Structure 1
């Protein structure tokens, strides 16, 4: 086991640095204690900071009501030794109102007081910040800390480390109801092992145990020996660790996986999200981590993601409908060939490990933590990331945050600007993209909560003000957020230069999330003057850029979306000269915007337009049953400077999982032919012939997710619900209980008797349905621009003469 050190017992003057793995807070007779586990080199140590208080803020004007409530509503015993104190502070809210700090000596009291004030609708400020998180935030401690034992106790300061963290991939196999665990798979770069209940010869990678109690005990033993910093898995918290905890509780096996010998805690939040707490160890779910790093897949099943990313999948159940047959197959394999189940179990562990390695997910999380102070296992967290950066700087200027979502909300603050598109089939289209438009607007035009308060609430000379939108006025000298953006921007430029993709991605996500924090009515800094000053400025920038391109160069802007403009150079423009023209547009427009911002506002301009893409051929389709152009839907052949080409689809059927594989394949091939000026009629006729001959049946399967439990669909029962109901009825007749739950995917075919589940489909397939509802829409979306139609190609023509 790694070296474990408790620094408070060390001599005064002792100091040590470490990366923060976990943070806990708990009540003691002396006050709130914070415990941190840190990784330093190959060793791990814990530090406890005792005798702390939790604090949130209240308005001075509410003190009479608060004192009256505390006197009348709290138990008499708490009046003698209240465990809280109200203290005046040299702080104000952004409306210039004085505030008091309400300090609590226990977490119990903290929750008591916040619940009480909330019940009586008394405003509270920053009450949702956990005391242990505030402790780090106010000290500007992000991912690592320098811990010093001094005369006045333990002190933590910011530090910078490059940690080496160890991972262990965990996966369990169970009965269908998860009321018994068959095996536990463990995989890392140091360990490859499966523990399984049963009889058989042990092997280096396979250990048989007598029963489930022995299985859990062996698992604890292996964890102690391996001593990982991080557990990873697929739905590892909501399933694997939840089941492990439940089975350990029922079998009375202490699941002491913490580095201090403490038990794990798997907790379900009010919104149904599961969390796992283990002292000194972090649990990372592969699904949540991929989503947080902005990876997108049609399905986040391990089978699908591993095939897409690693080009390999599970050892069992590849052909099974998700959630229907895999469980039964596992039961059967366990009974007939336990060793095969162990191989399957271990391969699942390896798949998760390889996904983390391939996508550099741990590297991404470490960089995110370094930039924002978010714990490694924090899911989402854009508001918390903003708070960690913004609040300590705001406090040092003498202010606290607004009461939650108390900003202006009666004004229009639209989202990103999307131009009306000009539908057509084009040659030579360039895409020019504003680099991180919203962060650059914040940075350029001083969009900032504190600058807004100073600009609208204090006496500032006109030359110190920057006009925004929705009656916003910002101080150009008293802004916090632009400096945070600038620091992140510089860090991203360094990351790009060093080819540090995880760091670059982490910074991009963080910067882009800042608009969401200012524009969401569930965030503390929500104010439509802030949000509008970002999005409406973006509208202005795009419309003026479009006008300047058309006026200065005579080109047509056929589309624009949030931060991009699509420029048609003309069908006769030489393909080899298009990249040079894109760079010419980029250079001119950046210079023009520099002059515009300086002349209008006297500010340096941080807007940066980049020539991004050259489409040799480009389709902007119409909306279905309309002549109007679509939005966020297009396709084209991207042409690279070295002559390579790539077929791109955005928002069209070929990239949407609710269309059949046949429609998606036909669209891609048809577009490829047309973009290459090749004949396409014979190809479509062949597809129709094969369809009617039953040669393409495997490509006719629809796959759609149930959004809620099956029995909650009463009035509207779409095809996938009808198919699921038929499957459930079939299972019931066979004496099998199969609830169809929310989130489950249903695979089905359209037959002459309506939708039928794929596994039980028996009626003839309705091929006309697929011609009318799948092939016709995807083909006509491009054929209409060639004065052709799908129906004209496959319907036999009647010779009248």
Structure 2
């Protein structure tokens, strides 16, 4: 064995108890790294898992553990709960012993119940967290060369924040029957382009590895993965579906899925989410990563995302895809192989185009979460905050320790003034909630220390007081904001986006009852301060002689005189931002004797701008508007919350609304121009010109059998179709495409006799009336369409 120092990036993390043949005791932590020297297996032995209990319950805890023959070591670590109660640490030589003790303490009656703090933190995570290790790591120890990897025993680890890996990535996709019987597996990347398929060999231009049966397929899959030796396996719903199916079939067939490095076995555990462990490798799902990166699609299916992002369609376009897959497997295996392969290719192209691996890397570097972790805002906050809290001498509280039950208000939304405006500017507060937290020192520890020392505190809301000096979030936000600005300045869009997501999630986490740090005094002090800031900002703008027509969370919409040109509007917007920022600097300094981090910016000039009424009323709507922005010679419509940007409206509605607003915003507009457009659309609708644009697309929110009383049209359409096509299958979460016919809602499959009157009533009329009402017009009777649809 030799000693050396290596740099790497963590791919997988495990913990296990030492066996009776080991020279080590306690828990062994195992981290697999990707490095410039190839894969590295890092072993950290002799570890002990820990949780905390109140010091006053020490004797009772010892008594209960002794009765159950559970071994533990108690240590005084000078730490206390937010209540001020002193705590001690309980160390265990195995995760199993810690879990048993936690169950024992929390299951006893009131007299013998022992409160456990941080009993849910896995030691493999805590070990990294307490050392501020977030992906990149320096490691040293006893080094040996193994078959295909370096092993480091008795390892010591230290954060290597700047290390960015070059990962080997492989795309995987399976095809199977409805019962999970495997047909084929596609693998594309790192120099291979394979489909492994069960069946008799056939000549094909693509590379197909033919297998005798499913066992042969699983063994061939193992061999290919070990041969390619990827760091990361990617796919679409690859954890919840592909690997779950592979795991179930392997169990049924008695096959071990030794897909990991060092012949490590695939492990899947179910809980709030599916946790997949593949030693030495990481499995990243495309859907989860898109959602983490805040992409929005009406459907996250591979077919929809590849069409939207790449402009490409899947090879199977059938509405009953499973039936077609089964048919191809039985009758046309080469077509199924091509379909299987293409799915892998599409996933690779989406990951590459949207730089999803790069996003996952920077997210891990910022939060310490596993590369593949889905969601995880609460876990990210815990990773960032917990080690700082410990260094301040406190344990994390449990859910509900504050004992408060009132609800925090949401973001501020101003009543709007509906109408058509020539010039509207939008002033946005830059990261309003994080800047409020930074300015007013809003922080879980700061709340506790502020209540203890009111003379050195800033008042919040609902009785909250925040320490001016003892806190962590304001400093963390300052560091993140500085890093984001640097990322912008150095053209690192993925890093900038990841930081933005984390900063914006801080309030959401503190306002989530699923977070151990949730306290309604914290979230109320953020949102109510936001209300105050928005209302005061409106007052100041109106005192300067301008009209505020709307406000939403952090945005203020200001109407400017019609005679102003774009340059004049932008000049006013920039000057207003300077004035408001100066006013907040002075106000906060005078009222709170602290520095303001609030920063309002002139963001957009809309010319023209339309604010609709609430449908069927004369009062202004919220979170719905249309504006026109101009960049150079190009003019663009921006729709917010309108039918044009909603997937549950038809293409007919989208095009109709767009044409109406293009007319409404034209330089030569007058009201008389709208009625011919409305009449034309109705006439063309009845003439059948829009038949291919009448499709509704709605998701099944439940399983079909769960729809009993209120049955929406998409479910009615599916059930009608199944009555004559019992083989048709569809599941929860899938998108249903349907149309309205003279026989009611039906799936969009063949030629239909459309009920055009319903489309006029549900698609044309609401959009037309929304525009006409603020202009004092009505959706009048139209003889040309032989309808009487007057209000």
Tell me the TM-score normalised to structure 1 length: 0.92
Q: Which of 472, 496, 501 does residue 464 from structure 2 map onto?
A: 472
Give 1:704 shift.
1.6
The residue aligned with 1:717 is 711
Please say if residues 256 and 265 of structure 2, whose CA atoms lie closer than 8 Å, have aligned partners that are also in contact.
yes
> Which residue does 2:702 correspond to in 1?
708
For 1:514-663, list aligned pairs within 5 A.
514-552=506-544, 554-640=545-631, 642-663=632-653
For the residues of structure 1 that align with 2:554 and 2:509, how far apart are their CA atoms? 19
Alpha-carbon contact 2:43-2:154 (below 8 Å) kept: no
Q: Which shows bigger deviation, 689-698 or 364-373?
A: 689-698
Instruction: Report the number of matched residues.
Output: 763
Aligned mate of 1:686, from 680, 689, 694: 680
Change (3 A) 1:42 1:341: farther
Equivalent position of 2:158 in the other structure: 157
Question: Any idea what the Cα deviations from partners look like across 1:617-641, whole Å, max 9, x if unmatched?
Answer: 111111111111111111111223x
SS at match of 1:632: coil
Is 1:783 the counterpart of 2:772? The answer is: yes
Q: Following TM superposition, by how much is the alpha carbon of 1:202 offset from its aligned partner in structure 2, in angstroms? A: 5.6
Q: CA deviation at 1:262?
A: 1.8
Distance, in Å, in 1 between the alignment partners of 2:786 and 2:175 is: 56
The alpha carbon displacement at 1:404 in A equals 2.2
> Once the 2 structures are TM-superposed, how far is the Cα of residue 698 of structure 1 from its aligned partner?
2.2
Deviation per CA, 1:43-73, whole angstroms, max 9, x where unpaired? 110111112111111112333543444345x
Q: Which moved more, 1:216-225 or 1:768-777?
A: 216-225
Matching of residue 193 in structure 1 with residue 181 in structure 2: no
Relative to structure 1, the CA distance from residue 329 to residue 84 in structure 2 (aligned partners, 3 Å threshold; closer, same or farther) is same
Partners of 1:728 and 1:740 within 8 A in 2:
no
In the other structure, the counterpart of 1:426 is 421
Residue 192 to residue 790, structure 1, CA distance change in 2 (3 Å) = farther
1:577 Cα deviation from its structure 2 partner: 1.9
Match of 1:43 in 2: 38
Please give the per-residue CA displacement for 1:338-361, whole angstroms capped at 9, x wherever unaligned.
222222222111111111111111
Alpha-carbon shift at residue 513 of structure 1 (Å): 1.0
Is the CA contact 1:202–1:208 (under 8 Å) kept in the aligned structure 2? no
Structure-1 residue corresponding to 2:7: 17
1:768 CA displacement:
1.1
RMSD: 2.1
Q: Secondary structure at the match of 2:542?
A: helix
Aligned partners of 2:695 and 2:739 also within 8 Å = yes
Q: Which moved more, 1:389-398 or 1:333-342?
A: 333-342
> 1:408, CA displacement in angstroms?
5.2
The 1-side partners of 2:274 and 2:130 are apart by: 28
Aligned to 2:146: none
8 A contact 1:749–1:761 mirrored in 2: no
2-side partners of 1:408 and 1:622: how far apart? 42
Inter-CA distance 196–662: structure 2 relative to 1 (3 Å threshold): same
Q: Structure 2: state its 5+ residue gaps.
A: 20-24, 144-152
Post-superposition offset of 1:572: 2.8
For residue 759 of structure 1, give the secondary structure of its aligned residue in structure 2: coil
1:42 Cα deviation from its structure 2 partner = 4.7
Deviations 1:698-731 (A, max 9, x none): 2222222222122222221222222222122223
2:488 aligned with 1:496, yes or no? yes
Q: Distance in 1 between matches of 2:119 and 2:399?
A: 9
Please tell me whether the aligned partners of residues 136 and 164 of structure 2 are also in contact (alpha carbons under 8 angstroms). no
2:441–2:474 contact (8 Å) kept in structure 1: yes
In structure 1, what is the Cα distance between the partners aligned to 2:206 and 2:192? 10
User: Equivalent residue for 2:260?
Assistant: 258
State how far apart, in whole Å, the 1-side matches of 2:56 and 2:697 are: 58
Name the stretch that deviates more: 143-152 or 582-591.
Answer: 143-152
Match of 1:83 in 2: 71
How far the C-alpha of 1:409 sits from its partner, in A, is 2.8
Question: How far is 1:402 from its partner?
Answer: 1.5
Q: Distance in 2 between matches of 1:107 and 1:440?
A: 40
CA offset digits 1:304-324 (Å, max 9, x no partner): 11111111121221xx33xxx
Q: Does 1:329 align with 2:342?
A: no
Task: Note if 1:755 corresponds to 2:745.
Answer: yes
Instruction: Confirm whether residue 184 of structure 1 aligns to residue 185 of structure 2.
Output: yes
Aligned match of 2:444 in 440, 445, 449? 449
For residue 7 of structure 1, what is the aligned residue in structure 2?
none
SS at match of 2:725: helix
- Mean alpha-carbon deviation: is it higher for 403-412 or for 165-174? 403-412
Secondary structure at 1:695 match in 2: coil
What is the CA distance between 1:452 and its match in structure 2?
1.1
Q: What residue number does 1:401 align with?
A: 396
CA distance in 2, matches of 1:250, 1:525: 43
Show the counterpart of 2:49. 54
Aligned equivalents of 1:748 and 1:47: distance in 2? 55
Superposed displacement of residue 96, structure 1: 1.2
Partner of 1:107: 95
Q: 1:147: which partner in 2?
A: 139
Measure, in 2, the Cα distance between the counterparts of 1:414 and 1:628: 23
* Unpaired stretches in structure 1, ≥5 consecutive residues: 1-9
CA contact (8 A) 1:123 1:403 kept: no
Deviation at residue 538 of structure 1 after TM alignment: 0.7
Q: Return the alpha-carbon distance in structure 1 between the equivalents of residues 371 and 407 of structure 2.
A: 37
Question: Is the Cα contact below 8 Å between 2:204 and 2:334 reproduced in 1?
Answer: no
2:26 and 2:93 in contact (8 A); partners too: yes
Asked whether the 8 Å contact 2:168–2:231 carries over to 1, the reply is yes
- Residues 267, 403 of structure 1: CA spacing in aligned structure 2 closer, same or farther, 3 A cutoff? closer
Q: Aligned to 1:24, what secondary structure does the other structure show?
A: strand
The TM-score, its normalising length taken from structure 2, stands at 0.93
